[in-house]
């Protein structure tokens, strides 16, 4: 039996697959991610690793700035 999924089902399936791929990518060690990204790229794994480390630092700083430092800051 050949059942064609509805548009909503197809979008939900695509979203699930994309989320799984992102989770796999984000769980890689930075060096391994850089080496994989360097395949077929004009950038070296070392360059990509440097970029990824910078991005991770920026994301960590942005997260720290959004998170209140103390419970008293939340009440204020």
Q: Which of 70, 32, 62, 71 is nearest to 48 (CA)?
A: 32
pLDDT of res. 67: 72
In the predicted model, is pLDDT for residue 50 greater than 90?
Answer: yes
Query: What Cα–Cα distance (Å) separates residue 54 from each residue in 23, 38, 64?
Result: 20, 17, 15
pLDDT of res. 3: 84
Between 71 and 37, name the one with better pLDDT: 37
Q: Global pTM?
A: 0.60
pLDDT of res. 13: 95
pLDDT band at 66 (very low <50, low <70, confident <90, very high): confident
pLDDT of res. 6: 93
């Amino acid at each position: 039996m050949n059942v064609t999924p509805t548009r909503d089902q197809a979008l939900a399936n695509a979203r699930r697959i994309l989320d799984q791929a992102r989770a796999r990518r984000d769980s890689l060690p930075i060096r391994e991610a850089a080496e994989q990204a360097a395949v077929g790229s004009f950038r070296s794994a070392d360059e990509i690793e440097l970029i990824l480390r910078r991005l991770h630092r920026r994301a960590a700083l942005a997260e720290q700035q959004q998170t209140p430092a103390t419970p008293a800051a939340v009440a204020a």
